[in-house]
Structure 1
């Protein structure tokens, strides 16, 4: 399958940014558009109707207004078989700033637009479509704001959906079967969950690699055209310096492994990356992650309720049937499925690719033994170690300080305090706690899995509870308060919410970390520098 076509629409609207000649026929035609784009950069409440922004000259036909461009991605996330179209508004005279390995930076006043629609027949797009939802990401002065809009039955406009919504859709699938589905629009808080990086809402898909593609019917590259038109600053002149992502659904674009990693990147890595809301799980599904255990290979579960289904590892090479990563992306059970927001159906083609990738994956005996017998595999870490480097690991790479305190003013409060750990634990206990945290769980810090009446599952530590409410501290340190009546079932987990560091840290890393922890006294003196 080829990557999505870069339609000639972009060639119509891009010159409107002021870089084409005034004699351009495209400009003359587009100057007949309606009112200029209107974005309130200080609004506390987004406008009610999508039409109020004037982002489109023809809203129903999705023809962009002057100053709005269509843009295209090598791969986009699965949205229950809806087609996805993307548009961008940059304030007049402003530019995006190129970054090689991160999301491009965009000025205040930028608006990202994503419209989701269902073709009446996936085999023949010319039969028309139903517009379902348009999502906006607006860069206000106070930061990025995500807002979903639901289209009306007449297809004339879309209304703000603060609390989300459901839309019944029908279509003929690519295999000729007739399908019916209740499409779920996320609420504004759910939008934030996916778009939050480093505790800040921001765009997530507009990376150089994902935008680096050639326009169909044109010899020019999309990023090069943006640069030429003055929309993008800092683009390297050498093409080889610009990353290029592949289309996961194009077999000619790369190997099974390469395409599988891209699918995981666009569908899962917005949460499962070092800056995402699921970072404390230790699972990093971004395409650039090169450490196998970080993207699930021989990685044991953290407290995930029914999510792991009793399987030992996220990915067990050669055995997709017993890999809980595949189990979760194929599930539609709210207490099991991943991602938890943004889909209700299973991406049949995408999950088939992940299954093939896992089945073709070769076993690694060393990684397997470290995962199955971590204390034995890391026994050499009981001797030696560099405390100063261990301190760097504690506050940096290993992210221990996210949950634990090494000194009284550290923020980590999810796990046991380590301020005086030397007075209560020996090195062998520290080793076991680092590489096999589920072997012995301190009772006060055991995880409770709550299955809620709405189908969701939460895992964490019960902070407080009375007859009416309970507060649970999640692995990321956030605390959620629930009505006791909203809890359908609770289970004490035998799996720690702390991820094992086996196969993540080297033997030397663990030795250094243990050496640092061994310096922590009841009344700590100066920490090693």
Structure 2
């Protein structure tokens, strides 16, 4: 083989080898697509015009399947809201957590926190279906809480921001087959603020550690709720073991504690220092009602109700006829009822509880 032929052969081999090692041309790699976008709470943009923009839920929004980082929660004794059921969720920005201040006050949440609560009824007529009416969102921004209320459409596909309030006509059927016709009230901003404030500063009501000390059913199974918050990074550890409130509808708990729990959640947000009705003598927060005077027992009302001279005490032991507290929780008159807001129908089970409790108290007053 001549030198020229040998050099040509080497060149051909080099070309072949080079071609063998050159990767074939292919499309640019497609990054994995997360089918669920993360939650969006842009503090410069909230409240958004629609609920879906937050991406709190995955799939069909009405199913309320929580997105990543959205944690369901529940309270021991809930606020009565005209027999509406509720879904509750909390979300915090990644890397942040709430801290315990006291069992008697809400947790100290970080900026960017969203507290989400949807109100719904089952067996709504005539189709006998579930209907979600509103989703209330509280968001902490720059150390202050803002309110956003989203009203759901008839198709149950979207909810739109509405801070003006409205009544929604509703007929729903209870477990005994009885139909209830009512005008469900979606609150205006001012109504939200009336209850959710202390010293004219907006604040949550429910998420106190003493209200959260219970088990909750999660997708992974039943778990201690407070432990779940710690494990999720949503609650800083190292707090004292909370003393939980009673469950208002637990027949195994004393009547007195059941009443205390009920008024703590349903009345104390107004009847406490710095709250809307702090000029009244009652102090209905759980930690204050160990003293029966703060429940109104043998306390004369400062402002007698016109036309009701028989109501001589806020709570008259063993005498429901003379007890103003029972009269107020049994009324739907806006000038009389208690609570003033958040209720338009009588909570029959609470009236029954209060009646039994009053009749159990030794009397009369001195």
Could you tell me the TM-score, scaled by structure 1's length? 0.59
Map residues 472-487 of structure 1 onto 2, 5 A cutoff.
none
* Shift of residue 219, structure 1, vs aligned partner: 6.4
Aligned to 2:184: 183
Matches within 5 A, 1:17-416: 32-43=34-45, 46-58=47-59, 59-101=61-103, 102-120=105-123, 128-141=129-142, 143-216=144-217, 218=221, 220-236=223-239, 241-252=241-252, 254-289=253-288, 290-303=290-303, 305-306=305-306, 311-363=311-363, 368-369=365-366
**C-alpha separation in 1, matches of 2:68 and 2:308:** 50
Shift in Å at residue 313 of structure 1? 1.1
CA shift digits 1:179-215 (9 cap, x unpaired):
2211011101110111101321111111111111123
Tell me the SS of whatever aligns to 1:259: helix
SS of the aligned residue for 2:41 comes to coil
SS in 1 for 2:261: helix
> How far off its partner does 1:298 sit?
1.4
User: For the aligned residues, what is the CA RMSD?
Assistant: 2.2
1:519 maps to what in 2?
none
What do residues 212-255 of structure 1 show as CA deviations (whole Å, max 9, x unaligned)? 1123485641101211232111344x7xx321222211212x11
Give the unaligned 5+ runs of structure 2.
1-32
Cα separation, 2, equivalents of 1:231 and 1:260 = 31
Shift in CA distance, 139/57, structure 1 to aligned 2, threshold 3 Å: same
Q: Answer whether contact 1:260 1:353 (CA < 8 A) is retained.
A: yes
Q: Separation in 2 of the partners of 1:362 and 1:326?
A: 17
Unaligned residue ranges in structure 1 (runs of 5+)? 1-30, 370-529
1:392-433 C-alpha deviation (Å, 9 max, x unpaired): xxxxxxxxxxxxxxxxxxxxxxxxxxxxxxxxxxxxxxxxxx
Shift of 1:52: 1.7
Q: What displacement does 1:103 show? A: 1.2
Per the alignment, do residues 116 and 306 of structure 1 end up closer, same or farther by CA in structure 2, a change over 3 Å counting?
A: farther
Structure number with the higher helix fraction is 1
Larger Rg: 2
Question: RCO higher in 1 or 2 (8 Å CA, sep ≥ 6)?
Answer: 2
Distance in 1 between residues matched to 2:65 and 2:95, nearest whole Å: 22
Alignment size in residue pairs: 327
1:95 is paired with a residue whose SS is: coil
- 2:124 and 2:131 in contact (8 A); partners too: no
1:313-351 CA-partner distances (Å, limit 9, x unpaired)? 110000112101110111001111111110110110111
| Offset from partner CA, 1:138-182 (integer Å, 9 cap, x none) | 111151012221111111111112110111222111332112211
